[in-house]
Amino acid sequence: MKKILHLPEAAFAWLEPATIPVMTTLARFVFVAVLFMYFINSGLTKIPDGFGNLFSPSFNAFAQIYPKGAEALSYDITQASGFQKAVILAGTWAEFILPVLILVGLFTRAAAFGMIGFVVVQSVTDVVGHGAEVGAWFDNLSNAAILDQRAFWVFVLLYLVFRGGGPFSLDRVIFGATSERAVEAPA
């Protein structure tokens, strides 16, 4: 009886090792197809006067990242604290750098981990600062922008953290196959 119960698992056990290169590539593809331009466009809204705002925080970035703080200071970026300015610049850079790293598959694990942190901070800012609805899991709706959608974003990113950039990545070109083997379970 035990053999019959394990039959489905045994029948597909050979498939798992073969899927890792496909799934890592697919996870990067899904990220690029669904989220890459979302983050790039969001980053572009933070630099309305051009790429010079990558080194000097803009009013737009201040209002997006610190909505209540910016409102309290009449949206005057010159009154933002040094810490706020550093966070604004780091957030702006992250919206450009991390997605590009995932796109090309360079430092994929670290970039995906950074994107997870970014999504968490973004979600907290959206809820606390902008009053976005959190939504709920286990309801009959699948379109809650915070809980539902971002859970899928984080899942794709977690897969990249655990498995790396895959065979078609700069990680593989630069670091070789060892970057993939580093986290595989022993046989």
Residue 123 is assigned to a structural domain of this protein: yes
How does pLDDT run across 6-59, given as a tens digit for each residue? 888 887 887 878 888 889 999 999 999 999 999 999 999 998 887 777 888 888
How does pLDDT run across 58-100, given as a tens digit for each residue? 888 999 999 999 999 998 999 999 999 999 999 999 999 999 9
Higher pLDDT, 5 or 112: 112
At 176 the pLDDT is: 85
**Rounded (10°) CA dihedral 40, 149, 83, 130:** 100
What average pLDDT score do residues 103-123 get?
97
Residue 168 is assigned to a structural domain of this protein: yes
Helix/strand number for the chain, H first, E second: 10, 0
For the chain, the domain total comes to: 1
Residue 115 is assigned to a structural domain of this protein: yes
Residue 187 is assigned to a structural domain of this protein: no
For 57, phi and psi rounded to 5 degrees? Answer: -60, 145
Closest CA to 88 of 40, 41, 45, 56: 56
Closest CA to 120 of 93, 84, 146, 99: 146
Return the structure tokens found at 139.
């309801």
Return the structure tokens found at 18.
């073969």
Q: Give the domain extent around 146.
A: 2-181
Residue 107 is assigned to a structural domain of this protein: yes
- With 70 as the cut, is the pLDDT of residue 181 above it? no
Residue 186 is assigned to a structural domain of this protein: no
At 157 the pLDDT is: 98
Calpha distance 109→122 (Å, rounded): 20
